[in-house]
Amino acid sequence: MRAIAVFALFFFSFLVFVSTGSEAAPAARPSEKVPPQAAVSDSVYIVQQGDTYYSLSRRFNVPLDSLQQWNDHKLQIGQTLYLTSTGAASHKKAATGAAAAQPAAAPVASGRTTGQYTTGAGSTTASASPAPAANKTKSRIMVIPFDPYLYFSDADDEIAQHSRIPRPNIRYAFRNRLDAMLASREYETIHLLGDVYRDSVNELSSIYKSFHYSYQDNKQSKYNRQPVVQANEKGSATDWLKRQKEKITNKDAGPVPVAKNPNKHYGVAVKDPSFFDRYNSQYDIDYYVFINQFEVKTIYENCLDRAAQNYQRDFLVHYSIYDSTGKLISGNKVNVPYESNINDVQRIVSDTMPGMARRVMADLPPGDK
């Protein structure tokens, strides 16, 4: 009987030891590393698992090629990613000891800011506060992007399928990239689109309600007397084809629809009388660049390669430029012919947007260099 009691006591002690050891085991392990959380300031971001340059360019509304260039085409988990050219430049200067006296960029506090501030072409700085008149060093323009409802395209299905992105994202790729490229070294630029730290969607929706759009006669800028479209080799061939068709077309076919009239554009008029005063006082704007409508149209009549079923595809932007008093400086449209067989959105953007933006900006007067 005594032997049974001793055995039971020994067995009970063994169970207590095992259970205690198993409970203590996790505490003895080294604590697992917690992945760093995304830390966003006005110029940097900490790269997380699953991030790609393309997803980050869409998330922060920063051009893909600029984001890659500012970060030397490197992308690793935990890397400090620079979202602005000034942030990248400051880092490189600090690394060489040339910018030891420059203070680090302060994080942006939560809350609403009122503009993305661009000091020149390719230089984009998301500012935590408006660029006041006291800080003005050059003539200043404000860019108002086109309303997403004023985007019309017959090619988004093909582009989305080839680029492997959702169809609605196509319009925003064109909208964001064109907006970012509407900058000049001769001007300081205020962008209402693309600020990471504010609700630009609601602000722009409110602004659009103060506008009225209609087809208007083209108004050529007195600062730019060049043709609307510069003819290249492909353009010349297309123009020749159109002229040949015009010779055999029935001239009594009726009037040209207003949307196809080369002498008219889709223009904007500002209904809100306080619009110019409000932004003039806030930013001391000299000129306003309105992007009114964006169109992508496949011209099946102009076949570039019949064997490959490659047709001409037109990228067309309508715009208006006003001065600070509300006087119309220019109202026109730019058409960039392209190929329907090219459906990679990044290539389309790279091939079409720079020339389109330069043509719009050419209607502004010479700025401060």
* Residue 256 clears pLDDT 80, i.e. is over it: no
Q: Where are the domains of the chain?
A: 35-93, 112-220+236-246+257-369
Residues 314 and 173: beta-carbon distance below 8 Å = no
Residues 87 and 62 sit within 8 Å (Cβ to Cβ): no
Residue 25: pLDDT band (50, 70, 90) is: very low
- DSSP class of residue 282 equals H
Lowest-pLDDT choice from 8-12, 18-22, 330-334:
18-22
* 9/140: higher pLDDT: 140
Using CA atoms, how far apart are residues 189 and 183, in angstroms rounded to an integer? 6
- Asked if pLDDT for residue 354 goes beyond 90, the answer is yes
Which pLDDT does position 68 carry in this prediction? 80
The reported pTM is 0.63
Confidence of residue 122 (pLDDT cuts 50, 70, 90): very low
Per-residue pLDDT band for 233 (boundaries 50, 70, 90) equals very low
Evaluate if residue 238 carries a pLDDT over 60: no
Share the mean pLDDT of the chain: 75
State the alpha helices, DSSP H only, in the chain: 2-28, 53-60, 64-70, 85-95, 156-163, 168-181, 200-208, 233-248, 275-283, 345-361
Cα 245 from Cα 49, distance rounded (Å): 56
State the pLDDT at residue 50. 73
pLDDT digits (tens, 9 = 90+) for 156-176: 999 999 999 999 889 989 998
Provide the 10 A C-beta neighbour count for residue 316.
18
Q: Are 160 and 167 in contact (CB under 8 A)?
A: yes
Tens-place pLDDT, residues 35-67: 343 344 457 888 887 777 777 877 787 777 778
Tens of pLDDT, residue by residue over 210-221, are 999 999 999 999
DSSP letter for each residue of 114-170: --EEEEETTEEEE-SS---GGG--S-EEEEEPPPGGGEEES-HHHHHHHHTS-THHH
Q: Say which CATH architecture domain 35-93 belongs to.
A: Roll (3.10)
pLDDT value at residue 2: 58
